[in-house]
Amino acid sequence: MAGLPHYKVAMDPALVRLGSMITNRYKYFRWTRRTAGITVMYVFVVPSIIGYLGYKTDGLWDLRAKRRGDIISER
């Protein structure tokens, strides 16, 4: 196509630093009380809550073949 090449764009130094930080994050990671707490939350607490809610609501609602005016709850 005619015109200037569009691939020549000046890189923003802040974006270059951000990309470098993201690619090298594993080199500078340390286990602290905060990172351990966050890890425990996402590995144990959140799946436990989701599992508990799934267990408690299993079979509670039957959404197949419902028509207007039918109740959702089976209990």
The predicted-structure confidence for 12-47, as pLDDT tens digits, reads as follows 899 999 999 999 999 989 999 999 999 999 999 999
Q: Go through 38-63 and write b for each residue having 16 or more CB atoms within 10 A of its CB, e for each that does not.
A: eeeeeeeeeeeeeeeeeeeeeeeeee
**How far is Cα 47 from Cα 52, in angstroms, rounded to an integer?**
8
Its pTM stands at 0.55
**How far is Cα 12 from Cα 5, in angstroms, rounded to an integer?**
19
pLDDT for residue 7:
67
